[in-house]
Structure 1
């Protein structure tokens, strides 16, 4: 018997993550990597977690920490998160908070909840690769979400979705310091996304994984906050907010959350019960201990550290990159987005870069639902130490220069 003959049709849309594959390069000490969008482990609040776990396991609640948990998640943690959402302009309570095993599980659950085969998901070009992977299993088609408006009307979106055999179900975006582009949407752009979704009758999935990491500029209200203000409260909102502790406290504990109307949370609870019952109890309790005592201080420390690394990376590119290469200046987050001259394929460049320059990055086509953006790439600066900046950027710039020179010579 060949098991592949029995695979569900959705399995054909499952693809390996280019980023996860590139992370394997971190095991090669001579590789300078700007690839992985991961926090610096040297900055994890290890002492705070050591204290939290010791306190939990040596205290009267040790049994509960090692026991089954309700599927919604640890109640004190959900209450703390509801308070934090309130500070962002989203009045809610613990019943609107659902704990996930990392925000990636949240995206998977939301894809399962809203997408039937042939339905349409609106995503930005580029968008987070993990979201595409999560949604792909539910066999949607993708259409381009343009927060600036563009020429596509709500009727045109709906007609295209109907022609494909489904309907537009959701808009997904990372409005703050997006992965991969580093871009941040203005308040007007966020309002426009809500207007479009209202006309189409769809939900908005707001991925806020990087929101806390702002290095400059004025904060913009979350889409969910704008939605609550116009709809009269979270129970009437169409926006679903996905958060994570991975970028601030510790990704290895796999604790994320969703803030949404209760009707959505109720369905997510049923999915959780069928999938893994609940996220690990002790990890949720430890996150609650550390968040209550050290979250704001941790955010402040990360902002100071990552801002310096962003500035160093941008300065190195300014000094070394050849004419024709462009990049943005992200106001926060973890990524800079680089656009190469037309005709240069970043995937081909990566193969040469790893082989010749020993520098890794992520080609941009992986973040485009239609495979476009081949002349773009993502650089992560969270692990960009002095060697990466002083050696890696000039090596990559020299390789790009050689490619451009060879192209000019052949013209």
Structure 2
């Protein structure tokens, strides 16, 4: 058998299979109630709108350009539409400040490549988005725990990074209804992060994938909006905002975007040219067609559906989870984060759950850069109806109660 290991780059040792992608295979098993995949409900996709968009492209004079190579920055009418959307959330910018990617996951990969040299430190929350860790891992960084409450000094981060052989390059966080916890970073913490980044001279990567999915409470301005308000122009900011159409319109078209100062955008464009030249031209045009005509109605539709499921899951957790188990109460997004009593293991619980209760979820350990958090798990309510949620949480509560009884 040919041994490839000595031929692979050292960075390949940092690449790990996504535990979530593996769990998505359970969605095909009809006897499993799955709260595992943090994916949108395909029944809510605007399929008719996309069918009409592609029909318009092929019936009109856009078909040749839609099937042709395009500019690396992205389809300009889509970027111009995004300029208007960004202004609504307090981010004044130009089309030159917007860069289209093949999903926001590609944006994270490019930003890891742009900022991280081996042994540099990325500051991430504990827990954080698993896909971000996967994207950054290839560039051989170290991780340090980002505190959004201000209980660590910039000097402590810098000293730790130097001790590990590099320097701090950026702070990454999901600000609204984060994956995996569903929590939102408050205004004071966002302001503190700007102060900290200025003092340390690092970038902030703001993951806004779920920003549109607020179901209750008051919206909090994005970090990039707050920084522009302070400094007067996006060109003076160090925050890089990553967004996506995957959670609002459709993930299969793989269209995401970055909003940042033009110095960063120009570097990302060079990476795009070297990697895949540009994102799919026809998909960008189709996204632009649907966004211009249907975005607000589509977001309203999915918010109503997901909110009903969120409320159903929170109510079921209140009814069926035993004492000693706690969970977040998100105001939006797709996730609820459960913390089990100390000593319990989410991975062991999942193994037992699949065998006996037929309920899937994601063990929380996958979301910690240091592989801690064994007694946590992530539940997604986006792809289960209210009846499935009631039955699934009832089964899960029964399983947790039995595990606690066995431990006594």
TM-score by length of structure 1 reads 0.98
Q: Extract unaligned runs of 5+ from structure 2.
A: none
Aligned position for 1:112: 113
Once the two structures are superposed, residues 22-64 of structure 1 have per-residue CA deviations (whole angstroms, 9 ceiling, x without a partner) of: 0000111101000000000000000100000000111011100
Aligned position for 2:176: 176
1:64-79 matched pairs, under 5 angstroms = 64-79=65-80
In structure 2, C-alpha distance between the alignment counterparts of 1:355 and 1:274, rounded to whole Å = 46
Asked whether the 8 Å contact 1:66–1:282 carries over to 2, the reply is: yes
In structure 2, C-alpha distance between the alignment counterparts of 1:381 and 1:51, rounded to whole Å = 30
Which stretch of structure 1 is more off in the superposition, 383-392 or 79-88? 383-392
In structure 2, C-alpha distance between the alignment counterparts of 1:306 and 1:132, rounded to whole Å = 27
Which stretch of structure 1 is more off in the superposition, 242-251 or 80-89? 80-89
Aligned position for 2:6: 5
SS in 1 for 2:252: helix
Once the two structures are superposed, residues 87-113 of structure 1 have per-residue CA deviations (whole angstroms, 9 ceiling, x without a partner) of: 111111100000000000000000000
Aligned position for 1:135: 136
In structure 2, C-alpha distance between the alignment counterparts of 1:223 and 1:367, rounded to whole Å = 23
Asked if 1:257 corresponds to 2:234, the answer is no
Q: Tell me the CA shift for residue 386 of structure 1.
A: 3.2
SS in 2 for 1:5: coil
In structure 1, C-alpha distance between the alignment counterparts of 2:296 and 2:372, rounded to whole Å = 39
Aligned position for 1:211: 211
In structure 2, C-alpha distance between the alignment counterparts of 1:76 and 1:228, rounded to whole Å = 24
Asked whether the 8 Å contact 2:381–2:389 carries over to 1, the reply is: no
Q: Tell me the CA shift for residue 328 of structure 1.
A: 1.3
Asked if 1:323 corresponds to 2:323, the answer is yes
In structure 1, C-alpha distance between the alignment counterparts of 2:280 and 2:79, rounded to whole Å = 14
Asked if 1:43 corresponds to 2:44, the answer is yes
Asked if 1:192 corresponds to 2:162, the answer is no
TM-score by length of structure 2 reads 0.99
Asked whether the 8 Å contact 2:308–2:386 carries over to 1, the reply is: no
Aligned position for 1:304: 304
Q: Tell me the CA shift for residue 159 of structure 1.
A: 1.0
In structure 2, C-alpha distance between the alignment counterparts of 1:63 and 1:201, rounded to whole Å = 46
Asked whether the 8 Å contact 2:168–2:202 carries over to 1, the reply is: yes
In structure 2, C-alpha distance between the alignment counterparts of 1:291 and 1:43, rounded to whole Å = 15
Asked if 1:224 corresponds to 2:224, the answer is yes
Asked whether the 8 Å contact 1:107–1:131 carries over to 2, the reply is: yes
Q: Extract unaligned runs of 5+ from structure 1.
A: none
In structure 1, C-alpha distance between the alignment counterparts of 2:110 and 2:134, rounded to whole Å = 12
Q: Tell me the CA shift for residue 86 of structure 1.
A: 1.2
Asked if 1:19 corresponds to 2:28, the answer is no
SS in 2 for 1:252: coil
Q: Tell me the CA shift for residue 276 of structure 1.
A: 0.5
In structure 2, C-alpha distance between the alignment counterparts of 1:400 and 1:237, rounded to whole Å = 47
In structure 2, C-alpha distance between the alignment counterparts of 1:69 and 1:5, rounded to whole Å = 38
Once the two structures are superposed, residues 91-137 of structure 1 have per-residue CA deviations (whole angstroms, 9 ceiling, x without a partner) of: 11100000000000000000000000000000001100000000000
Aligned position for 2:283: 283
Asked if 1:359 corresponds to 2:321, the answer is no
In structure 2, C-alpha distance between the alignment counterparts of 1:195 and 1:174, rounded to whole Å = 18
Q: Tell me the CA shift for residue 387 of structure 1.
A: 3.6
Asked whether the 8 Å contact 1:328–1:338 carries over to 2, the reply is: yes
**Aligned length in residues:** 407
Q: Give the root-mean-square deviation of aligned CA atoms.
A: 0.7
SS in 1 for 2:6: helix
Q: Tell me the CA shift for residue 83 of structure 1.
A: 1.3
In structure 1, C-alpha distance between the alignment counterparts of 2:138 and 2:71, rounded to whole Å = 27
In structure 2, C-alpha distance between the alignment counterparts of 1:279 and 1:216, rounded to whole Å = 34
Q: Tell me the CA shift for residue 2 of structure 1.
A: 2.1
In structure 2, C-alpha distance between the alignment counterparts of 1:326 and 1:3, rounded to whole Å = 46
Q: Tell me the CA shift for residue 164 of structure 1.
A: 1.0
1:149-168 matched pairs, under 5 angstroms = 149-150=150-151, 152-168=152-168
In structure 1, C-alpha distance between the alignment counterparts of 2:62 and 2:315, rounded to whole Å = 50
In structure 2, C-alpha distance between the alignment counterparts of 1:155 and 1:261, rounded to whole Å = 27
